Amino acid sequence: MSTLDMHVAIVGQGYVGLPLAIAASNAGYKVYGIDSDASRIDAISSGKSPIEDISDEEIAKALASGFSVSDSMATVSKCSLVIFCLPTPLGADSKPDLDILNAAVSQAGEHLSAGTLVIVESTIAPGSMREQIQPRLVSSAGDTDFELAFSPERIDPQNPKWNISNTPKLVAGFSDKAGARAAEFYSKFVSDVRLFKSVEVVETAKLLENAFRLVNISFINEVSIFCAKLGINVLEVIEAASSKPYGFMPFYPSAGVGGHCIPVDPVYLSHKAAEIGSPLRSIELAHEVNESMPHYYVGRAVEMLGNLAGKKILVVGLAYKANVSDMREGASEKLIDLIRKAGATVSWHDELVGEWHGESTVALTGAFDLAILVTLHDGIDLKSLGQTLVLNTFGGRK
């Protein structure tokens, strides 16, 4: 293997790209991180990790081994492997938005060397690699020959069991050579790499994984509302059903699922389904239920307080899941907005987020009319709420 073959550019240094960069660096690759966020570049370059899954010590080790990060897409010219780990959110119209990925692909294409392998890890709709990414690279790279593969990220921040090294990695190339090269790269630090012939199969598999979760979480949220009306504990119902050793998987209620995957990926799938005339109505309904949950809990708050006007309400947890600071697509922001529109004064507690929209986290005290529990990070002591009324969005006060 030539020296150039060991040089890797990873575009995007967030929750997906940075762990990948560290894993590749530990496997002996010379890794160039590329990111447009100046504060993130400064933090990483100074040995400070901007995400919870990677420690400062891991950053320092990688930097000592030659890892570097910058905003220069020209770095791509030094590498035989370029990987895109960029967000693909929903736009203001709630439709798939590939603007960030497409722009980066076009910029990188101008710097590709002959024989470069390009891998996309960003979540996209089935057909996007063939219909958008490949033509865009061909256009920007000109006559430069390159290989192309798709390998969707499977990152679950702060998961104590599954990480980049032991979560099975799906890979598919536009050619046998591209697929084999991508599989060889990931095999250096991932224990289980699954190589498929069809890029479209792997694109769809990624969306199916998270559509499965959205549908089931939305379903259990409806069951939770049903149980509340019936006056029984939904967590006990789930516990009882979970005793069945086959055919059942527990999911748990919430104020609305958040994060960069579950609320977004299924929409990519349903949008493609509508485009080809094969609608996925279960996903459409699940998305509708998920979006309605903050409204439901505002209604619950009204039931408990009678009227929200002039009331002091505390929302506990802004992040979309425990022990991370990531707020993307989280239910708390929607919930806070609705409660404020109802006339209440809203404060929030989340020490991992710290600052948000010019506001700061507040202490847990008994000075509120109601506390709404959305996300509980480790170490939160709810006893500090004293006699404050508590509305728990996930099934019972801890």
| Helix, strand or coil, per DSSP, at residue 172 | strand
Residue whose token pair is 């609705």: 338
Measure the CA–CA gap between 28 and 147, rounded to whole angstroms.
22
Q: 10 with 17: CB under 8 angstroms? A: yes
85 classed as catalytic: no
Whole-angstrom CA distances from 99 to 25, 76, 126, 251 are 29, 20, 17, 33
Reported as half-sphere exposure (CB side, CA atoms, 13 A), residue 377 has a value of 17
Among 79, 85, 227, 261, the active-site one is 261
Cα-Cα-Cα-Cα dihedral sign, residues 47, 164, 87, 159: negative
Structure tokens at 86: 């960029």
Give 219's Cβ-side CA count (13 Å radius).
12
Report CA dihedral (122, 126, 129, 133) to the nearest 10 degrees: -80
Please count the other Cβ atoms lying within 10 Å of the Cβ belonging to residue 145: 10
Enumerate the active-site residues.
261
